[in-house]
Structure 1
C-alpha cells in the first residue's frame, strides 16, 4: 500500500498539508481533495506498486492544465512504507443503547477507531454492521489499558456505572476527550461523587449547545463533531506545538 501525503499546500487547495490517503492495487482509503489531483496521485501510486518503487514526489499546479481551477499548488509525497490507515486515535463508547449505537455509526466513516462496549450481549447485537463491539463485565479495565490520546464517551444504562467510568477516565490526564451523557444536574451529582478528582475536563452534557433535540441520532451527530474536533485539536497541538 502507498501512502499519499500532502507535504506542501500553497494558495487555494482542496486539502491542507498533512492530509493523506492510502492506495492499494484495488483499494483507496481517505482523500487528498478529489478531482484530477487525486486521480493523478492514485495513478502514480499504483504505478509505484507495479514497479516496486518505495518513494516519489509530485509537484502539481492546480490550474487549467489538469482541469482544476483552485489556483494553488500542492506537493505530494508518496511512500510505500508509510503508516497504515488504521493508525487513528481510538474512541471507546461505553453503553450500547440507542445513543451509543447511533454514535458508533456516526463515527464509522471518520478517522477514528471506535469500539462500542457493553455488558449486555443483546444490546451489542443491535449494533449496525461493521461496528466494532466489545462485551465485558469490567469495562473500566479498558480505560486503564487505553492508548494515550484515546477518546472516552460514557452513555451506559446505569448512573453509578457512568460515575465509576468517568472517575476512571479522569484519572488519565493523557486521554484526549472524556464525555458523559446527562444534564447539568447529573454533572453536579458527579462532582459531589468525585471528591478529589479534577472534573474540569469532563464534557457533560455531551454534544450540547447547538440543539435541544434529544433524538439519539441528533445527539450522536453533535457528539461526533465535538469528539472529532477535540481529537483534531490534540493532533494539531502535537504536530505544531506552541513554544511561546
Structure 2
C-alpha cells in the first residue's frame, strides 16, 4: 500500500480537469490512497484562525467551491480523499476545531509554518534566520509540535521537522535530540500520525522529512506513518517514494496508515 496524502492545487485551479492531472499521476505511480490537502489559509472561512499580511493576501478560495470539486470528482468515480492542511495556530484551538468539524474531511493535516510573525519556510523571510538564535527558533518550533499533538485535532502532522528547510540546524546534537524526544512523547499520546515527506528533497535541505533519528523515535514509540510528496504540481506526485520507503523500512516500519472519512486503518507498507 502506498499513500500520498499531502498535495496542493494552489498553482492551478479548483477544477476537475486540473485535479484529474494529480489523480492520474497517482495512478501511474501506483499510489492507492491519494488525497488533496489544500492550505487552509487560502479559504475565507479560516480568517478567524490565522491572520497576517502574507496570509491575508493569499486568501481567495471559498470552502463551498472546494467541497463541490470533490463531490464532482466522486460523481465521476475519481478516487480522491478530501483533506485540508491547517497552519497550527497556538491559542486558536476552538476555532481550529470548529472549522475541522464543519466539513466531512477524510483526514486533516496540521503543520507549523509560523513562529509568531516569522514564516520559517518562506523565501521572503529567509534573511530573518540570520537575525535569530537558531536554538531558540527550534525550541519554539518544537513547543508547537508538542501542543499540536496535545490538541489531538489532527490526523497527521505535516513535515514534522520543516524547521530545517534552509539548513539552519543547531550544532549541539543533544539539544536537537531533546526536541525530538519531547515531540515524539507528545505525539505518542495523541491520534496524530507522522508523514514521511519527500518534499525536503526538493528544498534547500535536500533531505527527507523527518530526520532518520526523529523517525526512529517515532517507530520506537509506535507512532504510525503515512507517505506524502507535498506535490504542488502533478509531476511531483509520488516523487522519490523509493527513498521514503527505504527510510521507513530501515527504521522498522512495516505498515502505513490509511484514512477514509476520519476512520484510520493500517495496511502493509510498500
Alignment TM class, shorter chain as reference: 0.3 to 0.5
Task: Compare relative contact order (CA 8 Å, sep 6+) and give the higher one, 1 or 2.
Answer: 2
Structure having the higher helix fraction is 2
TM-score (norm 1): 0.32
Relative to its length, the structure with more strand (as a share) is 1
Pair member with larger Rg:
1
TM-score (norm 2): 0.30
